[in-house]
Structures are given as C-alpha cells and as structure tokens.
C-alpha cells in the first residue's frame, strides 16, 4: 500500500518532464518485460495455454490499459483531485459487479465500511485539491478517470474469477502476461500523441524506475495475490488508503496535513477496519472458494490505482 501511495507524488513530479501517455506505456511495457525476466528467479513462467493468454489480454486491457490511461492522462487533464476521487470509486463498482458476476454477497456492515472509507477519501483529497481543470479539459479527464476506475474494477474481478477457476494459477506469470498484453494498445497511442521526454534528466529516470518497479511490478503482483485469497470487496477497500499514504509521504517531506485531511485519514482507516471486521464477512461466502486465512493476521494488499 505504501508503494502505491508514493506513486501519486512521483507521477506528479515526472509529468513536468514527460507526457502522461509515456508514463502509462513505460509502466505497462517495461514492467511486463522486467517481470518476465524475473519469472525464472521466482520459479514462475508465462502462461502456456491460449485460454490463459486470452484471460490475460482481457484483464490487462482493464487493469493495465484503461487504468494507466485513467491515472496518467485523467490526472493531467482533470487534475489530481478529480482523478483521485473517481479512481477511488472502484470499490463501489466492484461491490456491485461482484454481486452478480461472482455471487459475492455484501453485508450491511461491509457496505457501511465502504461508504465511511470513501467519505474519508473525499476529505483527504479535497482538503488540498490543487488545480482543477475546467470546460472540455475537465470533461475529457473526468471520462478517462471514470473509465480507468471501471477498467480497474473489471480487471480485478476478472482476476478473481480466474483464480477461482484455476486454484494453482501462477500469479506472477499471469501478471506479467497482463502487462505485456495491456501495453499493446498503448504503444500506438504514445507514438501518435507526441510530446517530449527529458531523457537526459537523472531524476526523471529515477522516477521511471520507481514507477515501473514499485508502482507497477510490486503493486500489481501483490494485489493479484490478494485477490486470489480474499473476497474482491475486501481487497478493493484497501485502495482507500492510497491517497492517505500520499498525504503521509508529503508530511514526511515537511508538508503537514491540515485538520480536515487529518480527520479524513482517521475516517479512511476506520472504514477499512470496518470492512475487514470478521462480522463483515458474509456467512454465505463459500469458504471452499477461498484459501483458509481466517486464523492468519490480515496482511494489507497493495493497489495498482496509483
């Protein structure tokens, strides 16, 4: 989760010296190549069946192509506050879609936790909204960020379905395949979009390295692993903590949050805690479809909505 939260300030700094679509493409393409190269060290491998590659292409289009465009281009067009709020609405889309796609019931307590967590996100984000676009630029950014949220939700649900169908699924291998497949639509976009990138700036290269290794590889592998163990609504609730981590990173750099943001942080933490209460787990969830983790201390997943 910390790695995902740091992505926001790093992306904001990188946008001064490159284009948003370049960031999105490099995260997906280079992240896929890097993770593929690491697979032998992890005793993993890319999918070998056509069926799994089709799954990877579908999931990758949602949680890689659409999500990266929503994060990078949506933030650049609409402003970070608008994009952050829309992208953090994905847990609600997940809760609705999972009810029909996965037959995952949601208890009133867990629904309440989602509402509380999102209310905290609103306080954190709008305590210091920065610059917000207007007119057509705002509309375009709004649409792209919303598509990113839908893609992120749909891709995660696809991953959840796949892990239930394939209990022995190679998480690292399928994640690498998602990156590679999801980067394919981005390559022509970055070529057509144009723009300049200051390749000679060491700080920009360092930012790219973090966004690819920390923000892409580490975050997505961890998140996909969490989806193989927990109900999707429980996993996605942790994404509410991403803007909180971003604020805490700024605080560590000397920019302390105000009262409103501090209250928002406390509300987000309370919302996530409510979602993860044992009583929030529906008794109708088939425990045979999940790994037995009830006796383990919960380990927070990391989120790619960053």
Q: Say if CB 179 and CB 219 are below 8 A apart.
A: no
Question: Average per-residue pLDDT in the chain?
Answer: 86
297 inside domain: no
299 inside domain: no
304 inside domain: no
Q: Is the pLDDT of residue 165 over 70?
A: yes
Helical packing angle, 171-183 and 135-165, nearest 10°: 150
Burial of 192 (C-beta count, 10 Å sphere; 0-12/13-18/19+): exposed
CB neighbour list of residue 193: distance below 8 Å, 6 or more residues apart: 19, 21
Half-sphere exposure at residue 59, Cβ-oriented, CA atoms within 13 angstroms: 24
For residues 133 and 147, give the distance between their C-alpha atoms in angstroms, rounded to a whole number: 18
What range does the domain containing 231 cover? 2-289
Average pLDDT for 11-33: 93
Tens digit of each residue's pLDDT (9 = 90 or more) over 88-97: 789 999 988 9
Lowest mean pLDDT among 53-62, 162-171, 222-231, 238-247: 238-247
User: Looking up tokens 């920009």, which residue turns up?
Assistant: 204
Q: Is the pLDDT of residue 261 over 70?
A: yes
How high is the pLDDT of residue 68?
Answer: 87
The model's pTM: 0.83
306 inside domain: no
145 inside domain: yes
The larger pLDDT score, comparing residue 127 to residue 65, is at 65
Tens digit of each residue's pLDDT (9 = 90 or more) over 173-225: 999 999 999 999 999 999 998 889 999 999 999 999 999 999 999 999 999 99
Q: Confidence class of residue 1 from pLDDT cuts 50, 70 and 90?
A: low
Q: Say if CB 133 and CB 77 are below 8 A apart.
A: yes
How high is the pLDDT of residue 3?
Answer: 80
How high is the pLDDT of residue 295?
Answer: 41
Task: Dig out the tokens for 58 from the structure.
Answer: 């579908």
DSSP labels, 39-92: GGGGT-----SHHHHHHHHHHHIIIIIIHHHHHHHHHHHH-HHHHHHHHTTHHH
Half-sphere exposure at residue 162, Cβ-oriented, CA atoms within 13 angstroms: 26
Closest CA to 179 of 303, 62, 71: 62
303 inside domain: no
Q: Say if CB 66 and CB 151 are below 8 A apart.
A: yes
Burial of 92 (C-beta count, 10 Å sphere; 0-12/13-18/19+): middle
8, containing H or E segment? helix 2-14
Average pLDDT for 283-301: 46
Q: How many domains does the chain have?
A: 1
């Amino acid at each position: 989760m910390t790695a995902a939260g740091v992505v926001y300030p790093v992306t904001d700094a990188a946008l001064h010296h490159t284009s948003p679509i370049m960031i999105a493409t490099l995260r997906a393409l280079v992240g896929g190549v890097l993770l593929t190269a690491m697979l032998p060290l992890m005793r993993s491998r890319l999918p070998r069946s056509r069926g799994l590659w089709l799954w990877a292409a579908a999931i990758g289009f949602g949680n890689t192509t659409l999500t990266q465009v929503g994060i990078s281009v949506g933030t650049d067009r609409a402003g970070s506050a608008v994009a952050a709020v829309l992208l953090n609405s994905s847990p609600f889309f997940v809760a609705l879609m999972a009810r029909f796609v996965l037959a995952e019931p949601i208890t009133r307590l867990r629904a309440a936790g989602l509402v509380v967590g999102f209310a905290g996100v609103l306080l954190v984000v709008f305590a210091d909204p920065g610059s917000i676009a207007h007119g057509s630029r705002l509309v375009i950014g709004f649409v792209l960020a919303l598509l990113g949220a839908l893609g992120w939700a749909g891709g995660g649900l696809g991953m959840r379905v796949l892990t239930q169908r394939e209990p022995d699924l190679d998480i690292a291998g399928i994640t690498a395949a998602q990156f590679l497949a999801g980067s394919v639509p981005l390559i022509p976009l970055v070529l057509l979009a144009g723009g300049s990138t200051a390749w000679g700036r060491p700080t920009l290269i360092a930012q790219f390295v973090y966004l690819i290794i920390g923000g892409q590889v580490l975050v997505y592998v961890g998140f996909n692993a969490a989806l193989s163990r927990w109900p999707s609504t429980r996993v996605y609730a942790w994404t509410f903590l991403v803007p909180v981590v971003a604020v805490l990173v700024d605080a560590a750099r000397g920019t302390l949050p105000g009262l409103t943001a501090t209250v928002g942080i406390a509300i987000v933490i309370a919302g996530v805690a409510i979602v993860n209460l044992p009583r929030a787990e529906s008794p109708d969830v088939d425990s045979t479809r999940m790994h037995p983790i009830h006796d383990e201390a919960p380990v927070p997943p990391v989120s790619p909505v960053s």
